[in-house]
Amino acid sequence: MESTIQFNEHNKQEYPPMHTAEHILNATMVKMFNCGRAVSAHVERKKSKCDYALPQELTPQQIAEVEGQVNNIISMALPVTEEIITIAEAKKKFDVSRLPEGVSETIRVINIGDYDSCPCLGLHVKNTSEIGRFKIISSGNCPTGFRIRFKLEE
């Protein structure tokens, strides 16, 4: 019998709308700046942050474009679904270097419409329309690259 990575009480408990917004922000940064997903993230209900391996700060105009694109995706009311795939399949589609040693034979992937797919253990909304408005509250250089701090507004 194959085992599967599952969310449980011992995993970090995310606020589903914020955690799903983090996925959309990551996909947006990858698509706009080819920087890869966040190298570090801290996701909480009130405010969150993601650090990206960017060699330079983003301009205020670029920050506004990121915020606008994330809100555009949220407003599309995309379904948020999950699928279970084998680790072999995951290695072909994703960077799995951050998976722990001895991971199970299968992995859960979260899909946000056709905008983003990512292996993940966390909790998510069922549709992006449940997220609310995404707001970047600050940004700037940090030790790991470039940090974006954000929150959700009702």
Q: What is the pLDDT of residue 110?
A: 97
Q: 118 lies in which domain range?
A: 16-153
* Domain annotation covers residue 10: no
With bands split at pLDDT 50, 70 and 90, how would you rate the model's confidence at 13?
low
Please state the rounded mean pLDDT for residues 84-111. Answer: 88
* Domain annotation covers residue 38: yes
CA 135 to chain centre: 15
* Domain annotation covers residue 3: no
* Domain annotation covers residue 76: yes
Of 2-6, 27-31, 57-61, the one with minimum mean pLDDT is 2-6
Mean pLDDT of the residues in the chain: 89
CATH code for the domain in which residue 118 is found: 3.30.980.10
* Both tokens assigned to 119: 């292996």
